[in-house]
């Protein structure tokens, strides 16, 4: 991630300015323009929040500028993001474990076939 501002990150910050929690659906509607009548999708909004260098909070409530957030809101965001990272880490470990089990079974099968 980068702290370098991009036009889209700055636009998201402008959309969130003077707002409380704003859902991705609301941001999609607010981001629509003559060039892009459909607005941004959820993944793009989440990516922009990632690129904002901590300036944008994201929780199950939506998105909010960190500069307008309370201590409790920042801590809730931190807790949700930390839990999501832990869940993703567990999933990654499960994928790797499954892969290694499959490889062991394949190697075992190959050894047995070689003995025939």
pLDDT by position in tens, the chain (length 116) = 445 668 999 999 999 999 999 999 999 999 987 776 678 999 999 999 999 999 999 999 999 999 999 999 999 999 999 999 999 999 999 999 999 999 887 777 777 777 76
Same domain membership, residue 10 and residue 63 = yes
In our burial notation (b when 16+ CB lie closer than 10 A, e otherwise), range 67-95 reads eebeeebeebbeeeeeeeeeeeeeeeeee
The pLDDT value given to residue 86 = 97
Same domain membership, residue 81 and residue 29 = no
The pLDDT value given to residue 1 = 47
Enclosing domain of residue 99: 70-116
Q: Which of 69, 90, 105 is the last residue of a domain?
A: 69
Same domain membership, residue 52 and residue 96 = no
Instruction: Kindly compute the dihedral angle of the four CA atoms of residues 71, 72, 77, 82, in this order, to the nearest 10 degrees.
Output: 100
The pLDDT value given to residue 72 = 98
Cβ neighbors of 21 (< 8 A, separation 6 or more) are 59, 61, 62, 63, 64
Same domain membership, residue 56 and residue 87 = no
Same domain membership, residue 42 and residue 5 = yes
Domain count for the chain: 2
Question: What count of other Cβ atoms lies within 10 Å of the Cβ of residue 28?
Answer: 16
């Amino acid at each position: 991630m980068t702290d370098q501002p991009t036009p889209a990150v700055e636009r998201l910050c402008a959309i969130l300015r003077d707002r409380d929690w704003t859902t991705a659906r609301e941001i999609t509607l607010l981001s629509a323009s003559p060039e892009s009548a459909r607005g941004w999708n959820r993944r793009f909004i989440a990516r922009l929040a990632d690129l904002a260098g901590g300036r944008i909070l994201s929780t199950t409530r939506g998105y909010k500028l960190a500069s307008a957030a309370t201590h409790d809101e920042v801590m809730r965001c931190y807790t949700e993001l930390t839990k999501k990272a832990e869940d993703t880490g567990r999933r990654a470990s499960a994928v790797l474990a499954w892969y290694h089990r499959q490889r062991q079974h394949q190697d075992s099968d190959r050894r047995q076939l070689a003995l025939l």
